[in-house]
Chain A
Amino acid sequence: MTTPSPELAALLVRIGDLAGQATRPTTLRAELARAAASVRQLLDAAACSIALVEPDGGSLRFFAADGAGSQAIIDITMPVGRGIAGWVAMAGQGIAVGDVSRDPRPARAVAEATNYVPTSILAVPLMDEEGAVLGVIEVLDPQLGSDDTGRALDVLGTVGDQVASIVRLAQVYDNLGAALLRALTQAEDEAGFGDALRELVATEGDELAGLAVAFHDLASLGSDASILARRVLEEVAAFARSRR
């Protein structure tokens, strides 16, 4: 492992602090919980939950919820190959389903955990800019007029687009610390650190590694540029703190 210069080390510490503040699970949970509460109010629903795709791609984990059974559902996982939320994630399409109590299988695990069996479900995918499915928003028992279901799906799809941006941003920062650590452990010296970061970008297309490269390059321009980089990071960190 390399020994970075004091200037670079300070910059790395600052980036690490920022990443930590921006990505603490409570922050993302808080943001998504607010979104779930807003959606539930918007659709006058019994509950709204947001489930995110687990890293292995095989299951969804309920990350935030509001309304009936909301506390019990947090951190419950279910396979993406089953249920309405699973289909939405797999197909990348939103649907609304009524009379779900006729077929208890899809929501059995959730219903058992929350002690709430819905009559109807609206669900849309959360997708990032590259089209990857990040998760699903599910709304239980929305109060809709007879001709409102289609419109509600459109609205939920649009809200989902915004929620996906929050998730995407959090995941980007979540990867920052790991990218920096990998680059450090692979570098022989400070110049090698920059090379290792660039290699990460080339091999993984990691946007965070790209951000790290940008700050590293800025720091390498000299002390004034390094001070500027730190100030930018401090301002962003302050902004992140004010958001909580």
Chain B
Amino acid sequence: MSGLPAWAGAFDPDRIETVAALPLPLPVRDWAWGGATGHGVKVAVVDSGVEADHPRVGGLAGAVSIEPNADGGTKVVEGLHEDLVGHGTACAAIIRMLAPDAKIYSVRVLGSNLKGRGATFLAGIRWALDNGIHVVNMSLSSKSDQWFGPLHEIADEAYFRNVMLVCAANNVPGPTYPSQFASVFSVAARPGSDPHAIAYNPRPPVEYGACGIDVDVAWQGGGSIVATGNSFATPHVAGLIAALLSKHAGLTPFQVKAVLQAVADNAEG
């Protein structure tokens, strides 16, 4: 039997290693996002859709649905839509909690058929890049070699355009994309209830651990549930990045990565 994911246990409080970080002004959390609201920052939730009128979401700045075409391509359908499951709503609400004034966009890429899944996923990221999005929350991944190249290419493009792709690591062993790429923020769940707490894994590709185990999250129908998964840790990091960018506009992905390392619970220096 193959082993657990390489990062499994990396964020256990008893095992995590201390890392040297940049000497940012103390206290680093205050410097990073003290008083920040996410104002002026656009965040896309690439997922199952978002319930705009959910009390914990508090409205959307926009919504599109990426749907497969009969010819194998994709089309963009603008306008509010339902959340097919509740997961996208959960992510949007977490981002809203951490960056209350951010402009949140729902980019629904999950639909009614698994065929064309990779194409809609890629088209969702493309929409975000073409529409001035600053932070993209992707609680999704692909193991497909077919999509390695296209996803790598668009992740590099995002990196060079200062668009932060925040991606969930996968519990299934083996590489998944784009969370495997150095150009993205790869996130796994770790114990703890502080939504602002981050840990840095010195043994990437999974770099950041955030709140994602037994967390109370918004769900479809205006409700809420308790959930666990890397996909719930990911919007915590996306929300914190949105708050950071609203206070320190123009940071590049490598600068943001350094700040997140500096605010990590296991950082010293």
Task: Tell which of B113, B145, B229, B231 has the most Cβ of chain A within 10 Å.
Answer: B229
With A and B bound together, what is the CA distance between A125 and B147 in angstroms? 18
CB distance from A96 to the nearest CB of B (A): 4
- A91: contacting residue among B1, B9, B112, B231, CB under 8 A: B231
CB distance from A99 to the nearest CB of B (A): 5
With A and B bound together, what is the CA distance between A105 and B225 in angstroms? 13
Chain A residues with Cβ below 8 Å from B214 are 98, 146, 149
Chain B residues with Cβ below 8 Å from A147 are 191, 213
Q: Is the interface of A mostly helix, strand, loop or mixed?
A: mixed
Q: In the complex, how many residues of chain B place their beta carbon closer than 8 angstroms to a beta carbon of chain A?
A: 55
The answer to whether B266 has its CB under 8 Å from any CB of chain A is no
Query: Which B residues from 177 to 236 make CB contacts under 8 A with A?
Result: 189-191, 212-214, 219-221, 223-232
Chain A residues with Cβ below 8 Å from B227 are 95-98
The answer to whether A177 has its CB under 8 Å from any CB of chain B is no
Task: Tell which of A150, A155, A162 has the most Cβ of chain B within 10 Å.
Answer: A150
By beta carbon, the residue of chain B nearest A153 is B171
- B117: contacting residue among A90, A156, A158, CB under 8 A: A90
With A and B bound together, what is the CA distance between A86 and B86 in angstroms? 11
The stretch among B94-102, B134-142, B243-251, B255-263 that forms the contact with chain A is B134-142
Chain B residues with Cβ below 8 Å from A58 are 112-114
Provide a sorted-by-A list of 29 A–B residue pairs whose CB atoms are within 8 angstroms. Answer: A56-B113, A57-B115, A81-B112, A93-B231, A94-B172, A95-B87, A95-B229, A95-B231, A97-B226, A99-B225, A100-B225, A102-B219, A130-B144, A131-B142, A131-B143, A131-B144, A131-B145, A131-B147, A133-B114, A146-B214, A147-B191, A149-B213, A149-B228, A150-B190, A154-B171, A156-B171, A158-B4, A160-B172, A162-B2
